[in-house]
Amino acid sequence: MTIAPKPSFVLSMRHLLGIEGLSHEDISGLLDLAEEFVELNRQVEKKRTSLRGRTLINLFFEVSTRTQASFELAGKRLGADVMNMSTSSSSMRKGETLIDTAITLNAMHPDIIVVRHHASGAVELLARKVDCSVINAGDGSHEHPTQALLDALTIRRNKGHIDGLLVAICGDILHSRVARSNIILLNAMGARVRVVAPSTLLPPGIERFGVEVARDMREGLADADIVMMLRLQRERMNGSYIPSMSEYFHYYGLDEKKLAYAKPDALVMHPGPMNRGVEIDSIVADGAQSLIREQVEMGVAVRMAVLEALSRSLPNA
Amino acid sequence: MLSDRSPILLANARIVDPSRDLDIVGDLLIAEGVIREAKKGIGAAGVPEGTDVIDCRGKLIAPGLVDMRAFIGEPGAASRETLASASQAAAAGGVTTVICQPDTSPAIDNPATVDFVLRRARDNAIVHVHPMAAITKGLEGKEMTEIGLLKAAGAVAFTDGVKSVTNAQVMRRVLTYAGDFDALIVHHTEDPNLIGDGVMNEGEFAARLGLLGIPKAAETVMLERDIRLVALSGGRYHAASVTCVDTLEELRRAKDAGLNVTASASINHVTLNENDIGPYRTFLKVAPPLRAEDDRKALVEAVGAGLVDVIMSDHNPQDVETKRVPFAEAAPGAIGLETMLTAGLRLVHGGEIELMALLRAMSTRPAELLGLPGGTLKSGAPADVIVVDTELPWVLDPNELKSKCKNTPFDEARLTGRVVRTIVSGRTVYEYV
């Protein structure tokens, strides 16, 4: 069964560098378009041709299996020629600069480049040097727009709406681009956001982001409709930000006991990959309230929607 | 044929001399490399034959600027800046004396290197150049340098450049010993541990950009420590670059207690704030980092009141390779020799500071602190003089800058006012046409 695209929705910008700058209408439009692709992805015949003849390059300076695979599938299902470049490729290891890589790729006339980099602002820097469209797949601690979009889609599908919900984002907020993009998006869509973390993992000035702040899981999860857990990177555990994994799990890790502080019908999310036993225990991760697997499914659909919406603004679209 | 060292009469200008609180309309006569006099009516009374009479109606005449902190890459980083190129930039910016930093490669931590720099400057620079020498050998923060011999060789003060001496015992000994030689210790106060992985001012803006922040405490904590050590050991101390309200409070306390403590602020911190970083612009990445607007305003007020004694350019040329990278990876630093005065005039035009106070901070006070002859238009002083058109509008084109590196925070800025003539030892070394 082929689904005719709704030609009315266009993301009238060249790049998707972040949620910052997207309007309520932009976000709703992308989520609605993504819904169509969720249906498509469940068919046998998953292919569309809207990106046929287009070249998509995945340029991942930071290793990522799920996001890169998700974008690759998304591009191919839309009919694009997809090329993957990651840190395992030799020139990036040889120390070629970000700018030189951008200029080299640009000379090959790609239509869309999807970039992930470990430094905040790197994707924007690259976007200034290329003629094609750029999608930010995560830049340092700054933004990860497609993650926030897929999280929003997951929430909307399970709760029916986003506005008015209380979303608790728990974990290393300081270093998290997922947290930042989600905060911006959820606020734009009328949800209430609360961040929960030890003080050393909260960014200075976080109160001014329009979020509530809690330093304790009981207080933090009270009345929450959605509990979003963030991954704690191992480097943070060496005593510089928090003293140990066991102390972190004891006070901030999500287990059944802490989940009970939230609403009885609260749902659990995690951007992955999970550190089981550190920020979340397996019973909860695999339990009835977990949306973690659905998030991955939504990821491909959302990325197809983003690619489709951006491609409608490409020259000769 | 007018020779290079003919007498010069700068006529009909507004003459401002902060060394005497002088602000008059008149003429300034220069002969044989020194200032003869500055007053009304010299031209009318008659000048020596062969005098080059330059009409400066509508312009400002001031002492040439004395820039207390500029990084020049000799020895070791000539690709970033040489004494020749730095002096060209200085002349174009109205800076007639440049104090260069010792964190070169090798460091200026022995008399032979001081001598090298002075000779290279004598042969290649068109303005006066004096080096500061290192406080510790190799800038390692462990062993004191030969302060006596270095001073005798021509070092005008002592600093470890952008590095802080983290060992308090070393700092105490240095201050104690330097006191015997009346040597000025200039210290960049930033605790490297509190900086950690920080790359810009800690606060909401850093959080939004996803960049780790540097708390103001990194600066203030070290200054507080140093002030206590000055009280303990005596000696003359100068804070190399103060940026925030908390530090100013400590400085006020030290001065009120009668300690021999003075301070500089960089032109970047008095004219810019952290928001100017905008979309990760690396030319705005400096050390210490740009702070909030409240800090900037307090800093300007402090300069006006004399609490902060000096404004310096903090000239730090950085190659494209170290700047055209993600913000966190970029080297800190901005050039400033050529733009310091113009940027400062913004503050005057905006009513934030008096012209007299600005010029005092950029010429008279640094000369006084370093025991150098500039910063004044008194009779007999060296003829290091600038003529400034304070109202001239212009747009900064980085390609026109004389510095080898073009990392200016004022890239494509619209500016009002600039130097139109720079005279060093009675000779015109720069003219704007």
User: How confident is the prediction along chain A (317 residues), in pLDDT tens digits per residue?
Assistant: 556 655 668 888 999 999 999 999 999 999 999 999 999 999 888 788 999 999 999 999 988 888 999 999 999 999 999 999 887 665 665 667 888 888 999 999 999 999 999 999 999 999 999 999 999 999 999 999 999 999 999 999 999 999 999 999 999 999 999 999 999 999 999 999 999 999 999 999 999 999 999 999 999 999 999 999 999 987 666 558 888 888 999 999 999 999 999 999 999 999 989 999 889 999 999 999 999 999 999 999 999 999 999 998 887 66
- Give B178-217 pLDDT, tens digit per residue: 999 999 999 999 999 999 999 999 999 999 999 999 999 9
Contact between A120 and B329 using a beta-carbon 8 Å cutoff: no
- Give B378-388 pLDDT, tens digit per residue: 999 999 999 99
**Which pLDDT value is given to residue B1?**
35
Q: Please check whether residue B108 is in contact with residue B132, taking contact to mean a CB–CB distance below 8 angstroms.
A: yes
Contact between A140 and B328 using a beta-carbon 8 Å cutoff: yes
- ipTM for the predicted complex: 0.87
Closest residue in chain A to residue B207, using alpha carbons only: A203
Neighbour tally for B162: CB within 10 Å: 20
> Cα(B216)–Cα(B244) distance, rounded to whole angstroms?
7
Nearest Cα residue to B171 out of B179, B257, B148: B179
> Cα(B199)–Cα(A8) distance, rounded to whole angstroms?
43
> Cα(A140)–Cα(A187) distance, rounded to whole angstroms?
22
Q: How distant is the Cα of B203 from the closest Cα of chain A, in angstroms? A: 5
What are the structure tokens assigned to A28, written together?
């709703």
Contact between A205 and B207 using a beta-carbon 8 Å cutoff: yes
B25 touches chain A (CB under 8 A): no
What are the structure tokens assigned to B179, written together?
């006191």
**Which pLDDT value is given to residue A65?**
84
102-141 of B, contacting A, C-beta below 8 A: none
**For chain A, how long is the longest CA-to-CA vector?**
57
Residues of B in contact with A142 (CB under 8 A): 209-211
Q: How distant is the Cα of B246 from the closest Cα of chain A, in angstroms? A: 18
**Which pLDDT value is given to residue B53?**
94
Contact between A121 and B321 using a beta-carbon 8 Å cutoff: no
Q: How distant is the Cα of A80 from the closest Cα of chain B, in angstroms? A: 30
- Give B310-339 pLDDT, tens digit per residue: 999 999 999 999 999 999 999 999 999 999
Residue B3 clears pLDDT 60, i.e. is over it: no
Q: How distant is the Cα of A45 from the closest Cα of chain B, in angstroms? A: 41
Tell me which residue in A97, A124, A142 faces B325 most closely, judged by beta carbons.
A97
Residues of A in contact with B328 (CB under 8 A): 119-121, 140
**Which pLDDT value is given to residue A4?**
61
Contact between A97 and B208 using a beta-carbon 8 Å cutoff: no
Contact between B207 and A125 using a beta-carbon 8 Å cutoff: no
> Cα(A55)–Cα(A205) distance, rounded to whole angstroms?
41
250-289 of B, contacting A, C-beta below 8 A: 279-280
What are the structure tokens assigned to B268, written together?
């970047």
Q: How distant is the Cα of B103 from the closest Cα of chain A, in angstroms? A: 27
Contact between A141 and B210 using a beta-carbon 8 Å cutoff: yes
Tell me which residue in A99, A142, A206 faces B209 most closely, judged by beta carbons.
A142
Contact between A98 and B206 using a beta-carbon 8 Å cutoff: no
Instruction: Provide the pLDDT confidence category of residue B45 given band limits of 50, 70 and 90.
Output: confident
What are the structure tokens assigned to A54, written together?
């287009």
Tell me which residue in B203, B208, B329 faces A119 most closely, judged by beta carbons.
B329
Query: SS3 string of B142-199?
Result: CCECCHHHHHHHCCCCECCCCCCCCCHHHHHHHHHHHHHCCCEEEECCCCHHHHCCCC
Alpha helices of B257-364 — where are they, by DSSP H? 267-271, 293-305, 320-323, 340-349, 355-359
Contact between A204 and B208 using a beta-carbon 8 Å cutoff: no
Q: How distant is the Cα of B206 from the closest Cα of chain A, in angstroms? A: 8
Contact between A120 and B280 using a beta-carbon 8 Å cutoff: yes
Q: How distant is the Cα of A178 from the closest Cα of chain B, in angstroms? A: 11
Contact between A206 and B209 using a beta-carbon 8 Å cutoff: no
Contact between A125 and B280 using a beta-carbon 8 Å cutoff: yes
Nearest Cα residue to B407 out of B232, B268, B297, B302: B268
Contact between A119 and B213 using a beta-carbon 8 Å cutoff: no
Q: Exactly one of B27, B160, B314, B384 is catalytic; which is it? A: B314
Tell me which residue in A98, A177, A205 faces B210 most closely, judged by beta carbons.
A177
**Which pLDDT value is given to residue A12?**
83
Q: Please check whether residue A112 is in contact with residue A102, taking contact to mean a CB–CB distance below 8 angstroms.
A: no
Average of pLDDT values for B12-28?
Answer: 97
Residue B2 clears pLDDT 80, i.e. is over it: no
Tell me which residue in B203, B321, B325 faces A205 most closely, judged by beta carbons.
B203
Instruction: Provide the pLDDT confidence category of residue B395 given band limits of 50, 70 and 90.
Output: very high
**Which pLDDT value is given to residue A199?**
95
- Give B69-115 pLDDT, tens digit per residue: 999 999 999 999 999 999 999 999 999 999 999 999 999 999 999 99
Taking the C-alpha atoms of B342, B343, B345 and B350 in order, what is their torsion angle to the nearest 10 degrees?
Answer: 150
Tell me which residue in A98, A177, A203 faces B326 most closely, judged by beta carbons.
A98
- Is B309 tagged catalytic? no
Taking the C-alpha atoms of B84, B90, B94 and B96 in order, what is their torsion angle to the nearest 10 degrees?
Answer: -60
H helix count then E strand count, chain A: 12, 9
Closest residue in chain B to residue A173, using alpha carbons only: B207
Residues of B in contact with A183 (CB under 8 A): none
Tell me which residue in B203, B209, B327 faces A204 most closely, judged by beta carbons.
B203
B203 touches chain A (CB under 8 A): yes
Residue B228 per-residue DSSP state? H
Closest residue in chain A to residue B202, using alpha carbons only: A204
Query: SS3 string of chain B?
Result: CCCCCCCEEEEEEEEEECCCCEEEEEEEEEECCEEEEEECCHHHHCCCCCCEEEECCCCEEEECEEEEEECCCCCCCCCCCCHHHHHHHHHHCCEEEEEECCCCCCCCCCHHHHHHHHHHHHHHCCCEEEECECCEHHHCCCCECCHHHHHHHCCCCECCCCCCCCCHHHHHHHHHHHHHCCCEEEECCCCHHHHCCCCEECCHHHHHHCCCEECCHHHHHHHHHHHHHHHHHCCEEEECCCCCHHHHHHHHHHHHCCCCEEEEEEHHHHHCCHHHHCCCCHHHCCCCCCCCHHHHHHHHHHHHHCCCCEEECCECCCCHHHHCCCHHHCCCCECCCCCHHHHHHHHHHCCCCCHHHHHHHHHHHHHHHHCCCCCCCCCCCECCEEEEEEEEEEECCHHHCCCCCCCCCCCCCEEEEEEEEEEECCEEEEECC
Query: What one-letter code names the amino acid at B358?
Result: L
